[in-house]
């Protein structure tokens, strides 16, 4: 197999990222970018992000998950704590989040430390999920080997009968993580590969150091 992709070319010309247009706080700039992308590029799944972790096997791994909330403290997503990524985060809480918004020619890369959110917050989000998603969280021992799909479907059927006309409690092994950022980089595609890159780094006094990086 030999498939040369060297001729793939794209010109980036949809925006700029200048120091005169940014806030002292990267969360404010993230909120602005998120709103802009969500409004003007609805075909993008704006809250989809790549979560990169260092696994218990020593290998890094990235996978796409969905951001469910962001606050002044950080970025929240939900998962099975006993899954491969859940175990990786618990063992190595330093993680990276990456948003790629192709329509806007933008990326955001976030380095931070992940920790479990309070159980009552996980409870509240779990209660807001569709019933099928609640059952799915119980049915799947995420990342465990399963011999065929029928096993999962049978387990789901059993749970549907068990919780028929009853509220579905959040399983203890499922909940949220918050990633508290220590570094956030904003990338805006520009012509001639001279992209704009602005990096925020959290300092010991909790202010953010802002620097432009070469593309």
Given a contact cutoff of 8 angstroms between Cβ atoms, the answer to whether 156 and 134 are in contact is no
Active site residues: 193
Half-sphere exposure of 163 (CA within 13 A, CB side): 16
Q: Return contacts of 20-27, CB within 8 angstroms, 24+ apart.
A: 22/186, 22/198, 22/210, 24/207, 24/208, 24/210, 25/208, 26/181, 26/184, 26/186, 26/200, 26/208, 27/70, 27/72, 27/181
């Amino acid at each position: 197999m030999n498939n040369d992709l060297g001729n793939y070319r794209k010109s980036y010309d949809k925006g700029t990222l200048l120091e005169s247009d940014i806030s002292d706080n990267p969360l404010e700039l993230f909120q602005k970018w998120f709103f802009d992308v969500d409004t003007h590029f609805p075909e993008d799944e704006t809250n989809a992000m790549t979560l990169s972790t260092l696994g218990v096997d020593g290998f890094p791994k990235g996978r796409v998950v969905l951001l469910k909330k962001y606050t002044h403290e950080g970025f929240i997503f939900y998962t099975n704590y006993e899954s491969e990524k859940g175990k990786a985060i618990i063992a190595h809480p330093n993680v990276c989040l990456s948003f790629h918004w192709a329509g806007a020619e933008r990326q955001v890369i976030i380095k931070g430390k992940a920790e479990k959110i309070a159980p009552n917050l996980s409870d509240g989000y779990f209660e807001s999920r569709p019933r099928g998603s609640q059952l799915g969280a119980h049915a799947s021992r995420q990342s465990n080997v399963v011999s065929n799909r029928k096993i999962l479907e049978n387990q789901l059927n059993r749970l549907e009968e068990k919780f028929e006309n009853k509220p579905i409690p959040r399983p203890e092994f499922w909940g949220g993580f918050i990633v508290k950022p220590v570094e956030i980089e904003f990338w805006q595609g520009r012509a001639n590969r001279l992209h704009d890159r602005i990096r925020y780094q959290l300092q010991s006094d909790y202010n953010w150091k802002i620097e432009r990086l070469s593309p």
